[in-house]
Amino acid sequence: MTEKNMLANPAPLGLMGFGMTTVLLNIHNAGIFAVGSMILAMGIFYGGIAQVIAGVLEYKKGNTFGVTAFTSYGLFWLSLVGLLAIPKIVPGFEGPGDIAMGWYLFMWGLFTFLMFITVFNRTYAWRSVQRRSYS
């Protein structure tokens, strides 16, 4: 007899943490307001820590994709806040230049693209298309 898994679904926490923080950052990118404590706090707590917690809970549920996605994006937000805040807090530390920041974001874009491709291998509709094409 197996024990029923009583963990709640952590995906809504992880998705909301990523979505709301991303929208807030892009409102800044649109020039509506400057980077301030609101964006940094959201990046640390909701975009970062909440997603890492969601990733740990996905690990307990045995969902490798959820662990990889939520933990990685949570650490993305924590590292992004670090890149933006550390140069302003610690004397002598320079912020990343435009080229370095471009490569940093490019690598995360590549990671996101690979995660996007991985989703297709998880859906039943895509599996049925793959089965038909090999028949």
Residues 64 and 90 in one domain: yes
For the chain, the first-to-last Cα distance in angstroms comes to 39
* Count of domains for the chain: 2
* Position 129 pLDDT exceeds 90: no
Residues 87 and 26 in one domain: yes
Residues 75 and 103 in one domain: no
> What domain range is 5 assigned to?
1-95
Render pLDDT for 82-120 as a digit per residue (tens, 0 to 9).
998 898 888 888 888 899 999 999 999 999 999 998 887
Q: 126 near 120, Cβ under 8 Å?
A: yes
Q: Comparing C-alpha atoms, which of 19, 23, 4 is closest to residue 54?
A: 19
- Report how far residue 62's alpha carbon sits from residue 50's, in angstroms, rounded to the nearest whole number: 18
Entry pTM: 0.81
